[in-house]
Each structure stands twice: as structure tokens, then as C-alpha cells.
Structure 1
Amino acid sequence: MLFSKLLPKDGNFFELFNQHADRIVEAAQAFSKMVENYDDVVKRRQYNKEVDAAEHAADRITHEVNRALHKTFITPIDREHIHKLINTMDDVADLIQDSAETMALYDVRHMTEDIVRLTDLSVKCCERLRGAVSMLAKIRQADVAEAALQTCEEIDKLESDADRVMRSAMSRLFRDEPDVRELIKLKAVYELLETITDKCEDVANLIEGIVLENS
């Protein structure tokens, strides 16, 4: 008993999860502003830099969580859940940055309505993700556990909406876009944006598992 009391505990994981989720939302909102102001080159570069800054900050938090995991003997939830959750969350931040970088590298010239719609769904998924993550520290409370599961369900619905937008966008793209190079560029952007919502759903599925195991 005395030995267990002396072992390093907790590692402040829930607070680190919250900080990472905040960076995800910052990246998503900066990306959305970049899309909204895409014709303004100065603003586009400014918001692209904000996406990069948020992603780099998220990376640092991910590394901190993984370091803490190695140093902490007693964790508030299963170690495997902590590892999977923070790394899957980091995938979301990476995909947002990848989307911004792809637009710059491929020299995408204009935004389409489908990019705007997929971006909006991505931002909503990221905001719901932050909401679900913020509840993890109190999921042993029945009402909080229920609210977390409800938020995860909302993410699932948003991901399904993004799937439908993606299918419609691809159909329009291959039917109406005469420029093959532009088609290739836009196809890559659409796929990345839809993958953001897929990865948010992966985070939601992990949170559901954590809630069901710990509530």
C-alpha cells in the first residue's frame, strides 16, 4: 500500500487532452478563415501560418502526453486508451495542416462551394470533439457520460453528412470540370477534408469506448 502511494500518478492527462483539443479547434477555425478569405493572398498566408502554429502546438502536447505516459505508473484511464486517443487527436490536427499545405503546394486558384461545405463540417466536428474531450475527466458521473456519448453521436452524424457532400462533390467534379489538372487538385483537397471528419469520428469512437468502460 505504501509503495503504491509513492508511485507517480495521473500525469495531468485530462488537462493535456483539453489543451490539444483547443489547438485542433484553433487550426480548424484558422483553416476556415483561410478558405473564407482565399482570394486575399495576404490573409490566406496569415491564416495558413495560424494553422501551422496550432498544429505545431498540438504536436508538442502529444509529445508531452507520451512522455508523461512513460513516467506515470497509475493513470486515470487505461494507458492504451490514453496513447490511442492523443495520437488519433494529433492525426486530426495533422490533416488540417495537410489540407492547407496541399492548397498551397497544388496552387489551388479558387474555392468551390463543396470545399466551403466540407470545411464547415470539419470545423463542427472539431468543435464537437473538443466538447466530448472536455467531459472525460467526469465520465464516472452518469449525466456527463450520457452527454459525452450524445456528443460522439453528433460527430458520427456530421461525418455521415461529410460523406454525402464528398460523393456529391466528386460526381460534380468529374462531370463538370474540364481542366484535368484542376480536377486532380480539387479531388485531393476534397479527400483530405473528408478525412478530417473521418478521423474525428475515430476519436469519437475511442471516447465512446472510454466512457463505456469507465462510467
Structure 2
Amino acid sequence: MFGRLMPTEGKFFELFSQHADLCVKGAKEMVALMTNFDDLETRVHAIETIEKQADKVTYETLDLLHKTFITPLDRDDIHKLITSMDDILDLLEDAGQTISLYDIKAITPEAKRLAELCLACAEKVQATVVLLNNMDNSREMLGICEEIDRLESDADHVMRAAMSKLFRDEPDVRTLIKLKAIYEILETVTDRCEDVANIIEAIIVENA
């Protein structure tokens, strides 16, 4: 009787998808920012707005988790998944704000490439989250997770090469410090996407 009176699965998968969509939107704004600095403040504001929308989705998910008696996935997995996805947009917001606060006048090809890899990772996160409501999709999801891992490795290589070039060729210490911070934040975005992939892989092992 008690179980019938409590909420059951809720709309967790819908909320995951909403958040993943926002991650992609935020990453697209970051690529646009890196492509054209003329709209810097507009792009930064757009990323901040998207991040606030994602915070609401995260809060709604956690609130639903507290209210739901029977969840479609392990409660801890739901919590880890939505908070790790939220980390992606938090870092994208950090990157945009850092570029603005540091008054960076031009960006390097390496920073733009890292932003593009952030977008590619976010799109793969979105692609696998959409499939999460059906464990018959487990093979496809695992394949996408492997692609996220490869993209994160690509970002590692880009950052290492960028750091080497920066310390070798950049004569201005202030510019070096600023660009180093941007590189590190953007590379960490791909790390968080890999964290999401690892969580999804664990969910598949537990449920498929």
C-alpha cells in the first residue's frame, strides 16, 4: 500500500536529456566565442544563462530523487550522473568568465581546438544519455562512451602540445598565465565528459 502511494520512476530520463541538451548549447556558445571575439560579452552571458538553466534541471532532478520511492536506476548513480553533467557547464561558464575577466584580446588555435573537442564530447554525452532509458541500447551506449574516451585523449594531446608551445614561444608572462588557465579549464571539461561516460558504463554493467 505504501509503495503505491509514493512516486515511482518519475521523469529522470527526460531531465537527463534536458541537461545534456544544455551542455551541447553551452559548448556551442564556447566554440562561437572562440571563433569571434567581437561578441565576447554576449557569448559569455549566453553561457551563464544556459548554466543557470542547467542548475534548475539539476535541482529538479535531485528534488525528484528525494521524493521518489522507486527509481529506475540506483539512487547514487542518478545523483552522480546529474552532478557530473552539471560540472560540464560549470566549467564552460568558468572558461567564459575567465576569458572575459583576463581581458584576453585574441585566442590561440589550440584553445579553439580544445573548445571544439569540448563540443564533440558534449554531443557524445547527449547521444548516449538519450539512449539510457532502454538497456537494449547498451552496446550502442558503450560504443559512444569509447568515443568520448578517445576525444578526451585527443584533448590531452592538444593541451600538452599547447603548453609546450606556450612555454617555449610566449615571451609575455601575463599572457602565458592567462592562456595556461584557459587551456586547463577547457581540457577539464573533456575530463568531466569522460566522468559521465564512466558513470554510464557502470550503470550499464549494473542494469543491462
Shift of 1:3: 3.0
Query: TM (normalized to structure 1)?
Result: 0.95
**Corresponding position: 1:30 with 2:29:** yes
Letter in 2 for 1:145: S
Separation in 1 of the partners of 2:27 and 2:142? 22
Separation in 2 of the partners of 1:24 and 1:196? 10
1:170 to 163, 182, 188: 163
Q: Secondary structure at the match of 2:133?
A: helix
Gaps of 5+ in 1: none
Give CA-to-partner distance per residue, 1:16-65, whole Å, 9 cap, x none: 00000011111100111111111x1xx22221111111101000000001
**Corresponding position: 1:148 with 2:147:** no
Separation in 1 of the partners of 2:49 and 2:205? 34
The residue correspondences of 1:8-157 to structure 2 (distance < 5 A) are 8-38=7-37, 40=38, 43-139=39-135, 141=136, 144-157=137-150
User: Are the aligned partners of 2:88 and 2:192 in contact in 1 as well (CA < 8 Å)?
Assistant: yes
RMSD: 0.8
Q: Secondary structure at the match of 2:106?
A: coil
Aligned residues: 208
Shift of 1:213: 0.9
Shift of 1:11: 2.0
Shift of 1:6: 2.4
Letter in 2 for 1:26: K
Q: Secondary structure at the match of 1:22?
A: helix
Gaps of 5+ in 2: none
Separation in 1 of the partners of 2:175 and 2:2? 64
Query: TM (normalized to structure 2)?
Result: 0.98
Give CA-to-partner distance per residue, 1:68-110, whole Å, 9 cap, x none: 1110010000000000100010000100000000001111111
